Amino acid sequence: MRMTKLLGSTILLAATTVAFGAAAQTRVAPIEIYTTTQSYDPIRYESAYIIADAWRDLGLEVEVRPMEFSTLLDRFYTEQDFDATVLGWSGRTDRLDPQFFLGTLDSRQADPGANNPGGYANADYDALFDAQSGEFNIEARRDIVHEMQDLYKGDAPMAVLFHRDEVVGYNHTTFTNLNAMAGEGLYSEWVPMEAQPLGERATLRIGGPQEPDNLNPLASTSVWGWKWMRMYYDRLVRLSPDVEPVPWAAASVDAVDEVTIDVTLREGMNFHDGKPVTAEDVAFTFNYYMGSDYSYFNAYLAPLASVEVTGDLSVRFNLTEPSAPFATITLSQIPILPKHLWEGIENPEELTPEQIPTVGSGPFVYERYDRGEYMSLRANDAHFYKENIGVDGVEFVIYADAEGVFTGLQTGQIDMTAWRMEPGQIPLAEGNENITVVSVPDFGYFHITYNTRREPFDDRAARRALTMAMDRERMVNVLLDGRGEVGGSVVAPVNAYWHNPFVERFEYDMAAARAELEAAGYSWDSDGRLQR
């Protein structure tokens, strides 16, 4: 009798709690995670499922929606119509400067089509972004960059899942001194300049599954086009293998004040057609790019107001605002084009392949490009860097897929791979006595970005909790075979100078995730569903 009564009141008590909870709180809206299809990229696809499983454990209704890649990009960037999306940024040398990746969290880039689709908005962060951009003292700039990583990290607007290792290979019986570069792997602009032949053949053969879209410096919008063109066009500055800007075609780069930069050209440089490289060519190139419809370099050229010729070999760059990345990124990306060949061309983007003047002043000279098959360059004997170059030319064999590239490496048709090997090929390459396998950490990253305009990601606590409920260690071990690193901040650990190692880690911890949610007033209903 007493027992029944006690039981009865307990049930009554429980019922009131549920009723009370239901009145005050509503279930958190279901979440869709967008990701790539399995065939496009199994890694991002599986990552989404690993995340979804843990989020379901937290009491959320989660669905994974794989999508065709370009549709996914469109949905994420252009339409910003998503809850959470798993995507990635590739590591390109010009992104080693923190400007680009930090910019992906700037609220002024949150418009449709821009680089901050999640819409993270933090006025302090934006102010710091401007401050670092205008800071010429590199140590002071680093302090700001570190502070920014710390600042955004606590708000968890997105999570860097992992940085993948680029695993590439080369034949060590034909060439030596091939040093992989972070983000670029072996196919960097330095490897052909540093490689030393071991046998009779001095022409370095590179093989890759991708080819340039085109080799028009005013139309190409692909990494593959620019990786090749960089070898026959000089830039004022080159990024060293350790990614420090070193004067290249420039003898010196001097900041007169915060918005004025004087550049003096190296003496005695010539284009491949024998005409000298002068300040006129440099000024022409920058003005030509600024006046063209070619938008690939627009971000780099944005801080530039005008370029003046101040002497035969000297030019002055006038900026609209102080810009630290100008000397590193802009000057290292814009090629020097010969004025005498380009000035008569009105619509350069319409040039057919045969019409493009492929004349540069770089360490290699353009020879040929047979679409879908082959490209080649020969060493420029008149170049100032000639004495350091061991190869007499560079060839690029275009294969249809990674399988073909690997067979080419195995059979000695090529000396190195331009692109990462497939996971299944790595052990085979390691077992081959002629092949050296190199693993370089990427500073690009895979991420899950939350739409901070939508429930539940509009709430900082929810974002933080969901970020803790993410077994990124498992992703690296299982999906990458251990060839990678769990993400810290948008500035990768391999980018040691700018990376802040002391940011909040968000280790995988379901209990901590629940605690975070509870502290913010979330609870779970009788079905175990999260409610707020």
Partner 1 sequence: MSRRNYLIKRVVQALFSLWIIATILFFLFRMGLPDPTAALITEGLNAEQRALIRAQFGLEDPLWKQYMLFLTNALQGEFGTSFSYRAPVAEIVWERLGNTMILMVAAITLAYAIGVPLGAWLSWRRGSLADTLGIFVGLMFRSAPMFWTGMIAILIFGVSFALFPTSGMRTLPYDATGFFDKILTLDFLWHAILPVLVVALYYLGSPLLIMRNTMLEVYGEDFIEMARAKGLPERDILYKHAARNALLPVVTQLAVTIGLAAGGQVVVEVVFSWPGLGREILNAVRTSDFPLAQASFLIMAAFVITLNLLVDFLYSTLDPRVSFR
Q: Catalog residues that contact partner 1 under the rule CB under 8 A.
A: 68-71, 73-74, 77-78, 89-90, 100, 111-115, 213-214, 216, 219, 221-223, 293, 295-296, 298-299, 349-353, 368, 370-374, 376, 395, 397-401, 403-404, 407-408, 410-411, 413
CB of 305: closest distance to partner 1 in angstroms? 20
CB of 268: closest distance to partner 1 in angstroms? 32
Q: Between 307 and 402, name the residue whose CB sits nearer to partner 1.
A: 402
136 contacts 258 by C-beta, under 8 angstroms: yes
CB of 471: closest distance to partner 1 in angstroms? 26
134 contacts 324 by C-beta, under 8 angstroms: yes
Q: Between 199 and 372, name the residue whose CB sits nearer to partner 1.
A: 372
CB of 219: closest distance to partner 1 in angstroms? 5
Q: Between 59 and 335, name the residue whose CB sits nearer to partner 1.
A: 335
Give CA–CA dist 186/207, Å, rounded. 11
56 contacts 72 by C-beta, under 8 angstroms: no
- Neighbour-count burial of 353, counting CB atoms closer than 10 A to its CB (0-12 exposed, 13-18 middle, 19+ buried): exposed
Q: Between 223 and 510, name the residue whose CB sits nearer to partner 1.
A: 223
Q: Between 260 and 295, name the residue whose CB sits nearer to partner 1.
A: 295
Task: Count Cβ neighbours within 10 Å for each residue of 263-280 and write b for 16 or more, e otherwise.
Answer: bbbbeebebbeeebbbbb
CB of 246: closest distance to partner 1 in angstroms? 24
CB of 519: closest distance to partner 1 in angstroms? 37
> For residue 459, which amino acid is it?
D
Q: Between 442 and 471, name the residue whose CB sits nearer to partner 1.
A: 442
For every residue of 157-191, DSSP letters joined together read: SEEEEEEEEEEEEEETTTEE----BTTTBT-SSSH
CB of 404: closest distance to partner 1 in angstroms? 4
CB of 312: closest distance to partner 1 in angstroms? 35
Q: Between 136 and 296, name the residue whose CB sits nearer to partner 1.
A: 296
Q: Between 100 and 190, name the residue whose CB sits nearer to partner 1.
A: 100
Residue 181: how many other CB atoms lie within 10 Å: 21
Give CA–CA dist 382/230, Å, rounded. 17
Closest CA to 176 of 208, 198, 154: 198
Give CA–CA dist 256/51, Å, rounded. 51
Give CA–CA dist 306/353, Å, rounded. 31
**Helical H runs in 315-449?**
324-325, 331-333, 339-342, 402-410, 425-430
Q: Between 254 and 350, name the residue whose CB sits nearer to partner 1.
A: 350
Give CA–CA dist 226/247, Å, rounded. 20
CB of 302: closest distance to partner 1 in angstroms? 11
Q: Encoding tokens for residue 190?
A: 């330095």
